Every structure is written in structure tokens, then in C-alpha cells.
């Protein structure tokens, strides 16, 4: 097994590479430009064992990418390179499209030029493709592609409302039941990645492993990227004695899934023979209010009386609730998340506090 891992120096990618190393890959090539927004200036790549080679290169450099893919001759590819900030994606639309969409296109062209078809191709997509996600109305009818409007939000009406004006109730989202409805530039680029991969490879013998991750968190996530990772942003603020303000009315919720659980789902797909027909949802399948997450982290920081403030403000691209229905992923991979939010938050906090001290 010769695996090309784009974005293999990143938070999820580096964990995945370590598992590939430990569980049977013969050779791994990481293709990553050590993006300064994620890794800081003058970053050095993470250290791996002798099976792993690292190339510092940009996914947008189609010529170099093609030459490196041809020379390495992978038998499998995991594509993780991405610009990842929802809010930032509105201000840097062309960069997000170049890296996420054109980058994927260049990679697929390089792969299609190989003399042998890949065993598997893994894409790390996002639950962002669902937009607001799945809801039911007061009669129990399933509603997807629900929207929130600036006019409601400016008036402090932050819930998701149905056509009759009554608030809808959130239910877990899954590729099997929920229509995509990307509501940010980032989300649109992730859906486009999925479409390109499907179009370019679904009629080959390559197994396509497309994952839609919820909020992945854990030790090793970037502590300097201001555009992603709400929990690490909170920890940095807590440790620096800064206040935390929660957007909207404090009721926003997310499905936080620990990175080791995510990487296990990736490994199970890669190492098995499953041929998924749809993207696989990966989350803890637990809804956590952002407010409660902040309080949990504050307690870990020894601030037992800490209460975040509620800002009443809202941001473009922020959706109200997110939670995965993981039954399809479980049925395919026999995978279930194992790490509770309390345990994962403790691990992240301990690691982040140590790293910030250094
Ligand atoms: N972390 C999450 O909560 C989450 C949720 C859903 C989906 N995902 C997806 O998972 C994947 C990995 O996310 P992550 O959290 O590990 O992010 P990350 O930022 O830690 O990793 C991305 C890696 O890609 C590299 N990179 C960025 N632009 C590049 C370019 N132009 N050329 C070459 N390399 C480049 C970065 O240096 C970094 O090492 C992404 O595709 C992301 O969209 C992550």
C-alpha cells in the first residue's frame, strides 16, 4: 500500500498518517504546503517514521502535483488539503475555490493519468454541505433545506422557522436522508469536491470513501488559526484571561467528535473492502450547546463560576444546530465514536495548556 496523503501535516491528516504507518502502509507521501495560517511562519513538518516522506508543495501547483503523483505511483490517495474557515471563505472566495475546487481537480487529473487505478480514494468533506440540516415541523413532517433570514436574525429570532412561521425542531442529518444545501462558500467548495470526486472516479474500480465530518476537535489542532476550531479558540481565551461571548441567543449547538474517533472511521474505510454508495457521516451523534462547551472548558481551567456572555450577534454562514445520524456509517464500518465530550475536552485542554505554556 503506497498512500498519498494531501494535507497530511494537518490536524486530522497527521493523526491519519500515524495510523497508516502503524497499521500496514508500505510507503506514505505527504503533500502539504505547511500553510502559515495553520502552522505558523517557518513551520517544520511533523516527524514521522522512515516509511513517510514529506513534500512541501502547494495543491494549486498542477505541474508539480502531477509530476509528484506520477513519480510516487500511489495505490491509494487520501485528500485532506483544504481551506477550512467558514467565515473567512466569504472574504477570500477565489482562494477557497482555487485550493478546494481547482486543487481537487488537479489531483484528480494527476490520478487519472496514472497507468493503474487506485484501490481507494478518501475525501474529507464536511457536514457544512447540509446547510441548516434536517428538521421536523409541528406535524412531524421532515423538512430539509430550511433557511434563516437576516430580517429574522436582526430581530433576535434565531431559530429555524417553517413556512407557517412556527419554529422547527432539529433532527440528526445524514447523507441518506438529508439533501445538501451549502450555505457558505466553504460549504459550496466541499460539495463541489464531493461532486468532482464522484464524477471523476465513480466509474473506475477505485473505492470512494467520502466522509462528512461534524466539528472535529482534539489534541493537535491548530491553536493559532483564528478561523476554525471554536474549542481551541475558547481555551486560548480562557488561558489568557479574556472573556468569551456566545453568538445569537446562546442556544447554538454542535456535534463535537474527537479526532481519534474520526481517524478510526477513516482507517476502517481504508483497511476494509467496503464500497459505500453515499458519503459517510461522522460525528459523536451528541448535541452540545456551544454555551455548555464553554462552561466545561472554563471548569477545566479552574474557573468554576465562569459564565460566557450572550452577544446577540450573528455571523454569515453560521448554522443553528448540527448533529449527525451515524447509522449508515455504523452499518458499513461497524464504527461508533468512543470518546465522550467530557473526556475529549479534558484531553484537548491538557494538551493546549501545555502547548500554550511552551
Ligand atoms: N476539523 C474539522 O472540524 C473538520 C470538519 C469537517 C471537515 N474537515 C475537513 O478535514 C480536512 C482536514 O482538516 P483539518 O482540521 O485537519 O485542517 P488542517 O488545516 O489542520 O489541515 C489541512 C492541511 O492542508 C494544508 N494545506 C492547506 N492549503 C494547502 C495548499 N494550498 N496546498 C497544500 N497544502 C495545503 C495545511 O498546511 C494543513 O496541514 C479538510 O479537508 C477539512 O475540510 C475538517
Cell 496514472, located at residue: 114
Cα(84) to ligand 1 centroid in Å equals 6
Ligand 1 atom closest to Cα of 128?
A: 6
The mean pLDDT of 40-59, rounded to a whole number, is 96
Q: Is the pLDDT score of 6 beyond 80? A: yes
Question: Is 148 a member of any domain?
Answer: no
How far is residue 352 CA from its own chain's centroid? 19
pLDDT of res. 228? 82
Domain count for the chain, please give it.
1
Nearest CA to ligand 1 atom 38: 10
In which band, very low, low, confident or very high, does the pLDDT at 193 lie, cut at 50, 70 and 90?
A: very high
Cα(106) to ligand 1 centroid in Å equals 17
Looking up residue 34, the CATH number of its domain turns out to be 3.40.50.720
Nearest CA to ligand 1 atom 21: 10
Ligand 1 atom closest to Cα of 103?
A: 31
In sequence order, which residues have a C-beta less than 8 Å from that of residue 310 and are 6 or more positions away? Answer: 245, 246, 248, 249, 250, 291
State what percent of residues in the chain have pLDDT above 70: 100
Question: Is 161 a member of any domain?
Answer: no
Question: Is 311 a member of any domain?
Answer: yes
Question: Is 22 a member of any domain?
Answer: yes
Residue 358 in grid coordinates:
511552551
Cα(191) to ligand 1 centroid in Å equals 15
Pocket of ligand 1 (CB under 6 A): 7, 9-13, 32-35, 38-39, 58-60, 80-82, 84, 99, 124, 126, 213, 215-216, 222
Q: What three-state secondary structure class fits 178?
A: coil
In which band, very low, low, confident or very high, does the pLDDT at 213 lie, cut at 50, 70 and 90?
A: very high
Question: Is 151 a member of any domain?
Answer: no
> What does the alpha-carbon distance between residue 173 and residue 186 come to, in Å, rounded to a whole number?
18
Give just the sign of the alpha carbon dihedral 172, 149, 145, 162: positive
Dihedral angle computed from the Cα positions of residues 326, 12, 317 and 289, in that order, rounded to the nearest 10 degrees: 60
Question: Is 149 a member of any domain?
Answer: no
pLDDT of res. 230? 93
The mean pLDDT of 108-134, rounded to a whole number, is 98
Residue 108, CB half-sphere, CA atoms under 13 Å: how many? Answer: 22
The mean pLDDT of the chain is: 96
136 with 143: CB under 8 angstroms?
A: yes
pLDDT in tens, 302-330: 999 999 999 999 988 899 999 999 999 99
Question: Is 283 a member of any domain?
Answer: yes
| Catalytic one of 130, 161, 186, 211 | 186
Looking at residue 321, the DSSP 8-state letter turns out to be: B
Query: Which of 4, 5, 7 most suits a substitution to test ligand 1, by most atoms within 8 Å of the C-beta?
Result: 7
Q: Which residue(s) pair with 126 in the sheet?
A: 213
Ligand 1 atom closest to Cα of 12?
A: 16
pLDDT of res. 13? 98
The mean pLDDT of 242-246, rounded to a whole number, is 93
Looking at residue 46, the DSSP 8-state letter turns out to be: P
Residue 186 bears catalytic tag? yes
29 with 75: CB under 8 angstroms?
A: no
pLDDT of res. 229? 87
Ligand 1 atom closest to Cα of 190?
A: 43
Residue ranges making up the domain that contains 279? 2-134+172-357
Question: Is 204 a member of any domain?
Answer: yes
Amino acid at each position: 500500500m503506497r498512500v498519498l496523503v494531501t494535507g497530511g501535516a494537518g490536524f486530522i491528516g497527521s493523526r491519519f498518517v500515524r495510523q497508516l504507518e502503524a497499521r500496514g502502509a508500505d510507503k506514505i507521501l505527504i503533500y502539504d504546503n505547511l500553510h502559515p495560517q495553520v502552522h505558523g511562519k517557518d513551520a517544520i513538518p511533523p516527524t514521522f517514521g522512515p516509511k513517510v516522506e514529506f513534500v512541501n508543495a502547494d495543491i494549486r501547483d498542477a505541474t508539480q502535483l502531477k509530476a509528484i503523483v506520477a513519480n510516487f505511483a500511489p495505490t491509494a490517495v487520501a485528500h485532506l488539503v483544504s481551506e477550512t474557515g467558514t467565515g473567512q471563505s466569504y472574504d477570500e472566495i477565489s482562494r477557497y475555490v482555487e485550493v478546494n475546487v481547482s486543487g481537487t481537480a488537479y489531483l484528480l487529473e494527476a490520478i487519472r493519468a496514472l497507468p493503474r487505478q487506485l484501490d481507494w480514494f478518501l475525501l474529507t468533506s464536511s457536514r457544512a454541505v447540509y446547510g441548516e440540516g434536517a428538521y421536523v415541523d409541528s406535524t412531524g413532517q421532515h423538512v430539509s433545506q430550511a433557511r434563516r433570514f437576516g430580517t429574522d436574525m436582526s430581530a433576535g429570532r434565531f431559530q429555524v422557522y417553517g413556512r407557517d412561521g412556527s419554529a422547527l425542531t432539529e433532527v440528526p442529518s445524514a447523507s441518506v436522508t438529508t439533501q445538501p444545501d451549502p450555505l457558505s462558500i466553504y460549504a459550496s467548495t466541499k460539495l463541489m469536491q464531493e461532486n468532482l470526486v464522484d464524477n471523476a472516479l465513480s466509474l473506475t474500480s477505485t473505492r470512494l470513501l467520502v466522509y462528512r465530518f461534524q466539528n472535529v476537535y482534539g489534541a493537535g489542532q491548530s491553536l493559532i488559526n483564528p478561523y476554525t476550531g471554536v474549542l481551541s479558540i475558547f481555551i486560548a481565551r480562557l488561558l489568557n484571561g479574556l472573556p468569551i461571548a456566545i453568538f445569537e441567543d446562546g442556544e447554538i449547538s454542535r456535534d463535537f467528535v474527537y479526532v481519534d474517533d474520526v481517524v478510526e472511521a477513516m482507517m476502517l474505510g481504508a483497511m476494509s473492502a467496503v464500497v459505500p454508495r453515499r458519503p459517510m457521516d461522522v460525528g459523536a451523534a451528541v448535541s452540545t450547546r456551544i454555551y455548555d462547551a464553554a462552561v466545561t472548558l472554563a471548569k477545566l481551567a479552574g474557573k468554576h463560576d465562569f459564565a460566557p456572555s450572550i452577544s446577540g450577534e450573528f455571523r454569515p454562514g453560521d448554522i443553528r444546530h448540527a448533529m449527525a445520524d451515524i447509522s449508515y456509517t455504523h452499518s458499513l464500518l461497524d464504527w461508533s465514536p468512543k470518546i465522550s465530550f467530557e473526556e475529549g475536552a479534558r484531553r484537548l485542554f491538557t494538551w493546549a495548556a501545555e502547548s500554550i505554556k511552551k
